[in-house]
């Protein structure tokens, strides 16, 4: 009888432990944010996107690549030709081979791809304890939850709850599935200084860089919305004209 009780208690404790682990690893929905590009009439806040590019350049680009982006693309967030040339020339990028067939680096041009922090994925893993930092070119499209999810990851770092077993080299993040993420907290209050004196608390920095990442993922978003609105207005007008013509033609019949 005692053995049965002990087995029952042990099973109950095991189930409680399993449920506790499952509860700790549940995905927490990221907080909903107000985005300038949300809704039918939404557009990108270009000032926020430019601050976001600054954050990417000073912080995120140390680990994350943007292989699908060219410096000339920055005209889409309001940078003029001179600014784009200055941004591109400030980095060293591969420009070809020398007479000995060795790769040569030189100042970037508007036609250059964004500089990658590592020459290849193996080098990236070696520098990050085996973890491969994802390319950020399309990150907002690639993650369920989109901009809200990326914002949640950037702002979700905190101390792990009591009795939560955090693996070595991992960091606790409230919104990351399983709550264990290899990436250390990337943003801190006041980490980036903006020329215009814009707010730079962690939440503000996260909001700006996600706006930039949303633009890189969907640079044609505003044009698509405008085209859709024009199509709806055109169809509405044609519907009205068709109805008016129908009334005119059939008025005498009735």
Q: Give the span between the Cα atoms of 170 and 180, in whole angstroms.
A: 6
Quick one: average pLDDT of 139-148? 96
Q: Is the dihedral of CA 136, 55, 42, 228 positive or negative?
A: negative
Q: In DSSP terms, which residues pair with 180 in a beta bridge? A: 172
Low-confidence winner among 17-31, 138-152, 236-250 (lowest mean pLDDT)? 17-31
Residue range 189-198, pLDDT digits in tens: 999 999 888 9
Take residue 79 and report the two structure tokens written for it: 């940078």
Closest C-alpha to 223, from 84, 76, 110, 80: 76
Segment 196-220, tens digit of pLDDT: 889 999 999 999 999 999 999 999 9
| Phi, then psi, of 209 in degrees rounded to 5 | -70, -30
* Six-digit token string for 135: 């390319």
Domain borders along the chain are 70-113
pLDDT at site 253: 66
State whether residue 173 is helix, strand or coil: strand
* Tally: H helices and E strands in the chain: 8, 4
pLDDT tens digits along 96-127: 888 888 888 899 999 999 999 999 999 999 99
Q: Is the pLDDT of residue 33 over 80?
A: yes
What is the per-residue pLDDT for 222? 63
How large is the average pLDDT for residues 40-51? 94
């Amino acid at each position: 009888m005692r053995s049965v009780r002990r087995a029952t208690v042990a099973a109950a404790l095991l189930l409680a432990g399993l449920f506790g682990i499952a509860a700790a690893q549940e995905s927490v929905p990221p907080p909903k944010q107000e985005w300038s590009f949300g809704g039918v009439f939404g557009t990108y806040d270009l000032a926020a996107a430019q601050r976001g590019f600054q954050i990417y350049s000073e912080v995120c680009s140390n680990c994350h690549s943007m292989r699908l982006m060219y410096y000339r693309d920055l005209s889409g967030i309001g940078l003029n030709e001179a600014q784009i040339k200055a941004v591109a020339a400030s980095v060293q990028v591969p420009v070809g081979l020398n007479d000995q067939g060795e790769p040569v680096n030189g100042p970037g041009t508007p036609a250059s791809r964004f500089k990658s922090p590592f020459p290849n994925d193996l080098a990236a893993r070696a520098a990050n304890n085996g973890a491969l930092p994802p390319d950020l070119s399309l990150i907002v499209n690639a993650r369920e939850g989109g901009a809200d999810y990326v914002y949640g990851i950037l702002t979700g770092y905190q101390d792990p709850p009591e009795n939560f077993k955090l693996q070595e080299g991992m960091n606790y993040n409230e919104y990351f599935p399983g709550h264990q993420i290899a990436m250390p907290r990337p943003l801190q209050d006041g980490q980036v200084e903006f020329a215009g004196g814009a707010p730079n608390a962690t939440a503000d920095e996260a909001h700006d860089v996600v706006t930039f990442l949303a633009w890189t993922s969907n640079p044609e978003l505003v044009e698509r919305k405008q085209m859709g609105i024009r199509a709806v207005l055109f169809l509405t007008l044609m519907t009205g004209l068709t109805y008016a013509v129908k009334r005119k033609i059939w008025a005498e019949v009735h």
